Each structure stands twice: as structure tokens, then as C-alpha cells.
A = this chain, B = another copy of it.
Amino acid sequence: MSELTLIERHKMFNGHQERYRHASKTNNCEMTFSIYLPPMALQGYKVPVLYWLSGITATDENFTLKAGAQRFAAQWGMALVMADTSPRGEGVADRDELGVGLGAGFYVNATEMPWAKHYQMYDYIVHELPELVESHFPVTDKRSIAGHSMGGHGALMIALKNPGRYASVSAFAPIANPSETPLWQKALTAYLGEDRSAWLPYDSTELVKNATQTLPIWVDQGDSDEYYQELRPEAFINAARGKGFNVQFSMRKGYDHSYFFVGSFIDAHIEFHADALGL
């Protein structure tokens, strides 16, 4: 375990909630992540993994502390891996603008300076983090992915770009079509430059239009979400259904963008992924 430094460990639902720090080759800095290992994993059985990607300003701790997902991961026998939302630490670029910089890596591989030096979150989430997890913990190579807001964008985008790599994907209030949303165009410009063609490979709605293979997809959205106009879930759903893909879309009356929304439906999402993972 020399690559991973344990920061904290707590017993929870007879499993372990743990937090680790490690040197990331991809992001060229130290990264932190959290993992929940269900009781089965502590008893020596290998379990599949649900990766969770969080939204802007979050760290690995928001979902860990607020969603209540561990109760259901324990019941189903699934590990949860909570990633951070950007590189961090001395020398990592930041900017005082929503969606750019610390806590807002947007799950892309940045090509523009100063971001390109550390902000390689796509490769980190798709390759480096699973390799670490799968070599250090009692898990199988079966994976699903889910997220909230910017992390919902990350989950949909990563699942669609990597056919066969994830058994299922679900997204709470995802940024579903960032290349067409003025607020997020600023972030894409910062990380990827002004050429719009560099944005499209990271836009879930564009990706689903060109997808040839699908997987179980669930988008969950509150109709009282204060960021609704910046999310465009219908653009993604319409594009997916236009391709004949079977996408589940839930519209939740009165729910907002917060973790009170995520927590209210996380049990059903864990079951959705458990089913796809063969549990």
C-alpha cells in the first residue's frame, strides 16, 4: 500500500469509510479520494465499484458525508469511490470564476496553459484512479459511474466515451450539454481553447448523438433546481432517445440542486447500478 497514504478510517454500516492521499502522475500533484468498502469486502470477497463524481466546489467528502449512500452500498455489496473534483495544492492554477479552477476540473484533459500542467481529470478518473483502486482494494474490475451536476456531466461523458468500461451510468442534475450553455462555455474555453471542436468530445449530448453502443443510463432531475437553465437535461434525453437509446429520465417535483435531492433518491440509484453490475 506504499502508493497510498491513509488519512482516516471509520467503521460505517459494518464496512469501512476510508480516505487516502496519493501522488498522481496524471495530474502532477497529490490527489485525495475516499472509498467505502462494504462488509463483504472486509470479509475477503471482491466487490464491484461505483465511482462517484461530484459537482463544482465539492471534494470527495460531500458525497461521503451527505448522501447516505453507504447504507445501500453495504446492503448490496458494492464499493463506492468518491473522487475529488480537481487537482489541488501548491502551484495548481486557480481562477475566481464559476466552473474554472480548484473544485471545478470539469473532468477534461486541459490543453491550455496554465491549466494543462495539472488539470488532467479525464485521464485521472478513467485510468489512474481505477488502476490504483483495483490494485489496492478487494474489488473486481466491474465498474459503474455516477455523479452530480458537473459530476453528472463527467459520469455521462466518461461512460459514453468508454463503451464497455462501465456497466451503467446515472446522473443527478447533470450539466448535460455544456458546449451549448454560455456559463460553461467559459470553462471549456479556459481548459480547451476557443475552438469549439475541442469541446464536443467532452459534451454528453454530442457524444450520445454519435454513440453506437449504449448502456443503462438514468438522469434524475429536480424541477425546482436553481441551476436548471444551465443544465439542459432535455437536450441530452432528446438526443439519446433520438438514437433509440433507452434512457431513464426522472423529473422530481419540488426538488432543488442540493444533496437533499441526491440523498432522497440515492437508494434507487444504488439499486439501479447493483442490477447492472449483476448483484
Contacts and interface: CB of A to CB of B under 8 A. Distances in A.
Contact of A264 (B12, B65, B222, B260): B12
Nearest to A267: B71
A195 B28 CA distance: 60
B255 A11 contact: yes
A106 interface: no
The quantity of this chain's copies bound in the complex is: 2
Contacts of A259: 65
A264 B13 contact: yes
A196 interface: no
A66 interface: yes
Interface residues of A, number: 24
A258 B61 CA distance: 14
A14 B265 CA distance: 10
Interface string A240-255: 0000000000001011
A10 B260 contact: yes
26 contacts: A10-B255, A10-B256, A10-B258, A10-B260, A10-B261, A11-B222, A11-B224, A11-B255, A11-B256, A11-B260, A11-B261, A11-B264, A12-B260, A12-B261, A12-B263, A13-B263, A13-B264, A14-B264, A65-B65, A65-B66, A65-B259, A66-B66, A68-B68, A68-B71, A68-B263, A71-B267
